[in-house]
């Protein structure tokens, strides 16, 4: 580490970075503020007083269009389904890729393809395939599969990063001490990678919870939350739209914070155990 | 012994099965249906090239593809410029690893929130009576509200940059962090100035990250329909939007033919990027 004086480049880029962060979060904060709009306020500034009117409207009153509660519940369940599946399947595939096996190359490219094929193709393709096979698309079947094509590649890429840095000496030590493969996995490998696995779960949940393009044509007759919000943008002209935006964003943020805290706690506990 | 030889196949099985069912099979279905015929109420098996003929010979298709490519080039250039400097700042100017991690998280957290809400959030900012127009009018910069801010190509590009820059920042940051700092030290000792170090050392070593980020941004913009529909207020066209409209009209074979053409173009673009930059050592 060298501690020379900061040049002008540092200050220019610092200003640039701050502007970038403002660009990222500025618009979100405007809808956050506007969701506290007074009862007679509109979709834009100025604020016409402040109230919780629109949150009340969102949570306790029947909406003219849409079913916020049902959509939230479906998105939440689907998010949990994607989270668990992404964690298990990426972990297994990550373990598989640590060794040579026939078809490893094609499977890897297929996973990457899953990431770069435009969402609307997945959406259309799954919709058509269900139609051709005479199946009824639904959020828990076709939309679930569509979202997995988006969450699994991220999960696998995270597992790659984890296992690239993983020191196999720990496993060898466990084996030398007479541990079975399952004991080695459960007592050595899993605790070491657990924080990263929580990261995979976080991606699995949030990417599913916010997914739109792949779900659009695959969700069947019941909407997930992002589809519901999109539907509202065309019909709803009151700040209840912003209240919904604020509530779901706060929910996403809460999930992210919980995941980050549990990762930090796990890391700290391990550091303490190694030190003690 | 046999079990341990079988293990990787069993472990890779679920991933293979899911990708086969929800990626390979659907794309095969699209290719198949693109040769089918349809009328106003249903689609039926056939082997016709009319869907492709109609798509390729229509000037609307060409204009739409050109418009989509235009978005792609503009958004790619802006996200690359912004993403590179953000990643550069984080990697080389932030000295404490903790601060670096925190700032990196600040940059990536919006990726885990809803795209739709992030698009909606531009409305109170860019609208006719939005924050930007109001403040520019009160500062006396303009007399009447600017109309082009929302529901225009400008809004589409702005929203795409807003949504997709993160896909550039992360891979570039990743490669920059892996650059051996002694290389930069050596260049400096050899008399290179900051600019020369950037051009001759850092950018060449950052190429794989730039390529991965570019693949993300190019494929996302090429297939985008929701940002274009929402931020242009239905006034601009993109390939994805054209497909979405065909799907809404139940013209599945036409949409499928379009999808096949889009897929080929996207794969060509990705292939082109991979030819210029070898990312294999990155993976």
Give the ipTM of the model, two decimals please.
Answer: 0.88
Q: Judge: B27–A252 Cβ closer than 8 Å, yes or no.
A: no
With a cut of 60, say whether residue A3 has pLDDT above it. no
The full length of chain B comes to 283
Q: Which helix (H) or strand (E) holds B44?
A: strand B43-44
Mean pLDDT over B86-113 rounds to: 89
If we measure between CA atoms, which residue out of B67, B29, B37, B34 comes closest to residue B52? B34
A25 part of contact set with chain B, CB < 8 Å: yes
- Flag whether residue A48 sits within 8 Å of chain B, measured between CB atoms: no
Question: Residue B161 domain-assigned?
Answer: yes
The domain total for chain B is 1
CATH number at residue B101: 1.10.3720.10
Q: Is the pLDDT of residue B222 over 90?
A: yes
**B19 part of a folded domain:** no
The reply to whether B131 touches chain A by the CB within 8 Å rule is: yes
pLDDT of residue B194: 85
Please give the mean pLDDT across all residues of chain B.
Answer: 89
Q: Do A212 and B124 touch (CB under 8 A)?
A: no
pLDDT at B1: 52
| pLDDT winner (highest mean) among A106-110, B3-7, B93-97, B118-122 | A106-110
Per-residue tokens: A151: 């969450």
CB B257 within 8 A of CB B51: yes
Residues of chain A positioned with their CB less than 8 A from the CB of B247: 124, 127, 217
Residue B80 CA, distance from chain mean position: 11
**Is residue B89 a part of any domain in this protein?**
yes
- pLDDT for position A238: 79
Residues of A in contact with B109 (CB under 8 A): 253, 256
- The mean per-residue pLDDT over the stretch A146-154 comes to 95
Contact B60/A at CB under 8 A: no
A65-69, A156-160, B275-279: which has the highest mean pLDDT? A156-160
Is A68-275 CATH 1.10.3720.10? Answer: yes
Query: Choosing among B13, B43, B120, B137, which should be mutated to test the A contact, i.e. which has the most A CBs within 10 A?
Result: B120
Q: Report pLDDT for A165.
A: 85
B14 and chain A in contact, CB less than 8 A: yes
Crossing angle of helices A142-164 and A119-132, rounded to 10°:
130
Which residues of chain B lie closer than 8 angstroms to A118, CB-CB?
219-220, 222-224, 240, 262-263, 266
- Residue B128 within any structural domain of the chain: yes
Mean pLDDT of the B157-176 span = 93
DSSP of A26-94: HHHHHHHHHTTB-TT--SSSSP-SB-SHHHHHHHHS--SS--HHHHHHHHHHHHHHHHHHHHHHHHHHH
What tens digit of pLDDT does each residue of A16-30 get?
Answer: 999 999 999 988 888
Q: Give rounded-to-5 percent helix, strand, coil for chain A.
A: 70, 0, 30
Q: Is A1's pLDDT higher than 60?
A: no
* Average pLDDT value for residue range B4-32: 92
The pLDDT of residue B282: 58
Q: In the predicted model, what is the mean pLDDT of residues B221-235?
A: 88
User: What is the spatial distance between Cα A45 and Cα A41, in angstroms, rounded to a whole number?
Assistant: 8
Tell me: pLDDT of A200 over 90.
yes
Among chain A residues, CA nearest to B255: A124
Interface mutation vs chain A, best among B14, B20, B102, B121, most A CBs within 10 Å:
B121
> Would the CB atoms of A43 and B252 count as touching at under 8 Å?
no
| Chain A nearest C-alpha distance from B59 (Å) | 22
Q: Flag whether pLDDT at A43 surpasses 80.
A: no
Task: Please tell me what DSSP assigns to residue B215.
Answer: H
* Alpha-carbon radius of gyration of chain A: 23
Q: Which residues of A touch B16 (CB under 8 A)?
A: 103, 107, 110
> Which of A2, A21, A32, A44 should be substituted to probe chain B, the one whose Cβ sees the most B Cβ atoms within 10 Å?
A44
Is A263 within 8 Å of chain B by CB?
A: no
Neighbour-count burial of B113, counting CB atoms closer than 10 A to its CB (0-12 exposed, 13-18 middle, 19+ buried): buried
pLDDT value at A219 more than 90: no
State the Cα–Cα distance between residues B65 and B82, nearest whole angstrom.
26
**Which residue of chain A is at minimal alpha-carbon distance from B163?**
A24
Is residue B283's pLDDT more than 60? no
Domain ranges of chain A: 68-275
* Tokens representing residue A169 in the block: 């000496």
Q: Using pLDDT thresholds of 50, 70 and 90, give the confidence band for residue B163.
A: very high
Give the domain extent around B268. 59-282
- Flag whether residue B24 sits within 8 Å of chain A, measured between CB atoms: yes
Strand partners, B126: none
A215 touches chain B (CB under 8 A): no
**Residue A178 pLDDT more than 50?**
yes
Residue A4 has pLDDT above 90, yes or no: no
Q: What is the mean pLDDT of chain A?
A: 88
Mean pLDDT for B161-173 is 93
The answer to whether the CB atoms of B113 and A213 lie below 8 A apart is no
Can you tell me the mean pLDDT for B55-74? 92
- pLDDT category at B22 given cuts 50, 70, 90 is very high
State the count of interchain CB pairs (< 8 A) between A and B.
Answer: 256
- pLDDT per residue over B114-148, tens digit each? 888 888 888 888 887 788 888 888 888 888 888 77
């Amino acid at each position: 580490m060298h501690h020379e004086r900061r040049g002008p480049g540092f200050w220019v880029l610092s200003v640039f970075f701050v502007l970038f962060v403002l660009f990222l979060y500025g618009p979100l904060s405007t809808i956050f503020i506007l969701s506290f709009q007074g009862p007679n306020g509109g979709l834009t500034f100025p604020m016409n007083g402040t109230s919780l009117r629109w949150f009340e409207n969102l949570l306790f009153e029947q909406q003219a269009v849409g079913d916020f509660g049902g959509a939230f519940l479906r998105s939440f369940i689907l998010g949990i389904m994607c989270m668990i599946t992404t964690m298990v399947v990426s972990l297994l595939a990550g373990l598989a890729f640590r060794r040579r096996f026939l078809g490893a190359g094609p499977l890897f490219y297929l996973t990457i393809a899953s990431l770069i094929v435009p969402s609307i193709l997945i959406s259309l393709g799954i919709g058509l395939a269900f139609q051709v096979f005479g199946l009824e698309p639904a959020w828990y079947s076709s939309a679930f599969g569509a979202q997995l094509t988006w969450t699994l590649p991220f999960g696998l890429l995270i597992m790659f990063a984890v296992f690239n840095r993983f020191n196999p000496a720990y496993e060898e030590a466990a084996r030398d001490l007479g541990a079975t493969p399952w004991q080695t996995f459960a007592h050595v490998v899993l605790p070491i990678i657990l924080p990263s696995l929580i990261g995979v779960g976080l991606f699995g949940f949030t990417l599913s919870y916010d997914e739109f393009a792949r779900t659009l044509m695959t969700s069947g007759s019941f909407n997930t939350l992002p589809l519901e919000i999109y539907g509202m943008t065309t019909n709803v002209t009151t700040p209840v739209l912003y209240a919904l935006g604020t509530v779901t964003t706060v929910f996403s943020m809460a999930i992210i914070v919980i995941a980050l805290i549990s990762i930090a706690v796990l890391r700290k506990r391990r550091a303490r155990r190694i030190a003690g | 012994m046999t079990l341990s030889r079988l293990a990787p196949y069993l472990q890779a099985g679920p991933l293979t099965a899911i990708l086969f069912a929800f990626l390979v099979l659907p794309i095969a279905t699209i290719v198949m249906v693109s040769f089918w015929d349809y009328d106003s109420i249903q689609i039926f098996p056939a082997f016709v090239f009319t869907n492709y003929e109609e798509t390729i010979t229509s000037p609307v298709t060409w204009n739409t593809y050109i418009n989509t490519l235009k978005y792609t080039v503009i958004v790619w250039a802006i996200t690359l410029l912004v993403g590179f400097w953000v990643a550069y700042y984080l990697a080389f100017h932030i000295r404490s690893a903790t601060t670096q991690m925190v700032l990196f998280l600040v940059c990536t957290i919006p990726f885990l929130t809803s795209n739709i809400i992030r698009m909606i959030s531009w409305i109170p900012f860019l609208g006719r009576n939005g924050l930007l127009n109001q403040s520019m009018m009160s500062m006396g910069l303009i007399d009447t509200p600017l109309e082009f801010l929302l529901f225009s190509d400008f809004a589409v590009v702005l929203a795409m940059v807003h949504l997709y820059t993160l896909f550039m920042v992360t891979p570039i940051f990743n490669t920059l962090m892996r650059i051996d700092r002694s290389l930069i030290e050596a260049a400096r000792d050899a008399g290179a100035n900051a600019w020369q170090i950037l051009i001759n050392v850092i950018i060449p070593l950052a190429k794989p990250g730039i390529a991965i980020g570019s693949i993300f941004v190019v494929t996302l913009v090429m297939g985008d329909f929701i940002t274009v529909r929402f931020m242009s207020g239905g006034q601009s066209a993109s390939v994805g939007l054209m497909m979405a409209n065909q799907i809404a009209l139940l013209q599945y074979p036409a949409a499928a033919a379009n999808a096949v053409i889009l897929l080929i173009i996207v794969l060509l673009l990705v292939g082109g990027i991979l030819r210029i930059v070898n990312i294999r050592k990155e993976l």
